[in-house]
């Protein structure tokens, strides 16, 4: 009865996991996402016996090689111990795969985001990230007159407080096309006669603003109506950011100062010469010049250091999964001594018994890896679309690290087969006749 009830219980847990994904955050915590992960993992484990039976039955019925048929028949006739071992593998693989997918998706999305936001050849900044540092009009004119510059775009950074008791949000003013195509947009609306503002995902989530919505912004000491023309992806400001066209900002505020400059040179091979000319303007001014490749390299290096612990967690997951397989096979080694003795008495060689054990371990791990891969993919999607979005207010594109995942799966199966053989070696050494004689 339990074998028939478990699949339905597992399917019910999976359905509940899907429903939990739609629970809004409570107190800023994605409790629905956490519940969805737990339910998905539980449902996958509950479905494991049915999946294991369906996967191993064909090998037991149609397998040609003796070790294959013996290994599959063992798993079909005594699925309990196989499920226990496979459940450990499934859990560890699911968590490792989920983290690998989430980290790979995040890293690739950040990389693409940097490429789209940093299209110029050189970037010049006033000061060291100080809000009061800016490039005055004379310095802007000197930069514009520098030989070798093909295109020059200035950016103004400001803080904007939208209401009493609310934390300030970042206001970014830079040259923008009418459709906002230079931004990493995730949604956009049709332009209107109102001035356009583009908001980050954090702004959309925290203020519940939507594309096409008319909002009021305090600029130049006056509240003005803007239309939200689009939502863009921003990985650098969790408190939210607004972006408007620089010319519009200057028209509404009269502020001609800027903080940054994006410079495209006439000849990319001569970018260092242009950088030297710009550095010469730094006398008496605190200027910093950076290359997009350097910014991207430093940003990704920081990312890799931040998530380096995930690789350790994946290694721990491998050890946990293998320990489950080894413990299951080791606990049964003594009870299977007579089984091995009978097989030896019937003419099955020790090498064939070793192959049988390796196949058992490999099949058990394979079932766990398959289930863990599917469950891990689901958990990875929950981490990307629910947990990260509700916790940090950013989205990311899905990327699968196929090479790493396939290597991980092959390593797990191979090491599990080896662990099963090593766990059963002591029982395999028993004399076949003595083992069988105990039952006479």
SS3 182: coil
210-254 confidence digits (pLDDT tens) = 999 999 999 988 999 999 999 999 998 888 999 999 999 999 999
**End of a domain among 290, 323, 345?**
290
Which pLDDT value is given to residue 440? 47
Same domain, 221 and 284: yes
How many domains are there within the chain? 2
Residue range of the domain that includes 188 = 122-290
Does 313 have pLDDT greater than 70? yes
Same domain, 326 and 349: yes
Structural domain contains residue 14: yes
Structural domain contains residue 413: yes
Same domain, 25 and 78: yes
Give the count of beta carbons closer than 10 Å to the beta carbon of residue 268: 10
Distance of CA 126 to the CA centre of its chain: 34
Structural domain contains residue 37: yes
Structural domain contains residue 393: yes
Same domain, 106 and 127: no
Q: Which residue has the higher pLDDT, 257 or 430?
A: 257
**End of a domain among 290, 316, 343?**
290
59-90 confidence digits (pLDDT tens) = 655 556 667 667 766 666 665 666 777 888 89
Same domain, 230 and 374: no
Does 409 have pLDDT greater than 80? yes
Same domain, 191 and 78: no
Does 135 have pLDDT greater than 80? yes
Same domain, 160 and 106: no
7-17 confidence digits (pLDDT tens) = 889 999 999 99
Q: Which residue has the higher pLDDT, 111 or 279?
A: 111
d(CA 181, CA 197): 13
Same domain, 382 and 427: yes
Which pLDDT value is given to residue 155? 96
Same domain, 269 and 128: yes
Q: Which residue has the higher pLDDT, 439 or 158?
A: 158
**End of a domain among 290, 320, 337?**
290
Which pLDDT value is given to residue 376? 95
Instruction: With residue 374 as reference, give the H or E element that holds it.
Output: helix 350-382
Give the count of beta carbons closer than 10 Å to the beta carbon of residue 73: 17
Does 255 have pLDDT greater than 90? yes
Which pLDDT value is given to residue 129? 45
Look over the chain and give the mean of its residue pLDDT values, rounded to a whole number: 84
Structural domain contains residue 354: yes
Structural domain contains residue 299: no
User: Once rounded to an integer, what is the mean pLDDT over residues 120-142?
Assistant: 79
Same domain, 146 and 29: no
Percentage above 90 pLDDT, the chain: 47
Structural domain contains residue 60: yes
Structural domain contains residue 312: yes
180-205 confidence digits (pLDDT tens) = 999 999 999 998 999 999 999 999 99
Same domain, 148 and 28: no
Which pLDDT value is given to residue 421? 82
Which pLDDT value is given to residue 4? 45
Same domain, 319 and 263: no
For residue 418, what pLDDT band results from cuts at 50, 70 and 90? confident
For residue 136, what pLDDT band results from cuts at 50, 70 and 90? confident
For residue 2, what pLDDT band results from cuts at 50, 70 and 90? very low
What's the first-to-final CA gap in the chain, in angstroms? 36
Closest-CA residue to 52 (of 81, 32, 26, 92): 81
């Amino acid at each position: 009865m339990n074998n028939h009830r478990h699949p339905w219980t597992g399917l019910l847990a999976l359905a509940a996991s899907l429903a939990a994904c739609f629970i809004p955050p409570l107190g800023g915590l994605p409790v629905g996402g956490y519940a969805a992960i737990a339910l998905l993992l539980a449902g996958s484990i509950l479905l494991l016996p049915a999946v294991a039976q369906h996967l191993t039955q064909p090998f037991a019925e149609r397998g040609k090689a003796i070790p294959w048929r013996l290994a599959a028949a063992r798993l079909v006739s005594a699925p309990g111990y196989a499920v226990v071992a496979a459940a450990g593998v499934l859990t560890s693989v699911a968590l490792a795969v989920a983290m690998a997918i989430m980290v790979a998706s995040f890293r690739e999305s950040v990389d693409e985001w940097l490429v789209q936001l940093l299209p110029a050849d050189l970037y010049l900044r006033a000061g060291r990230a100080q809000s009061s540092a800016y490039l005055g009009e004379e310095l802007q004119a000197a930069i514009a007159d520098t030989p070798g510059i093909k295109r020059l775009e200035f950016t103004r950074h400001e803080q904007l407080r939208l209401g009493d008791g609310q934390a300030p949000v970042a206001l970014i003013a830079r040259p923008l096309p009418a459709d906002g195509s230079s931004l990493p947009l995730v949604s956009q609306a049709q332009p209107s006669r109102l001035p356009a503002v583009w908001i980050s995902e954090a702004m959309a989530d925290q203020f519940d603003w939507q594309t096409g919505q008319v909002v009021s912004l305090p600029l130049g000491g006056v509240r003005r109506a803007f239309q939200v023309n689009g939502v863009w992806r921003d990985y650098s400001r969790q408190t939210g950011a607004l972006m408007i066209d620089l010319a519009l900002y200057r028209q509404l505020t009269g502020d001609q100062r800027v903080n940054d400059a994006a410079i495209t040179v006439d000849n990319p091979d001569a970018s260092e010469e242009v950088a030297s000319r710009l550095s010469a303007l730094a006398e008496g001014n605190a200027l910093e010049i950076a290359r997009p490749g350097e910014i991207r390299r430093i940003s990704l290096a920081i990312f890799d250091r931040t998530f380096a612990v995930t690789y350790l967690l994946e290694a721990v997951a491998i050890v946990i999964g293998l320990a489950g397989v080894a413990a299951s096979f080791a606990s049964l080694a003594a009870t299977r001594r007579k089984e091995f003795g009978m097989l030896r008495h019937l003419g099955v060689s020790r090498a064939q018994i070793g192959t049988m054990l390796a196949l058992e371990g490999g099949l058990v791990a394979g079932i766990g890896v398959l289930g863990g891969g599917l469950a891990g993919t689901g958990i990875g999607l929950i981490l990307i679309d629910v947990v990260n979005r509700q916790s940090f207010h950013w989205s990311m594109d899905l990327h699968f690290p196929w090479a790493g995942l396939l290597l991980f799966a092959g390593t797990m199966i191979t090491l599990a087969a080896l662990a099963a053989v090593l766990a059963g070696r002591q029982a395999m050494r028993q004399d076949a006749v003595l083992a069988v004689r105990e039952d006479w």
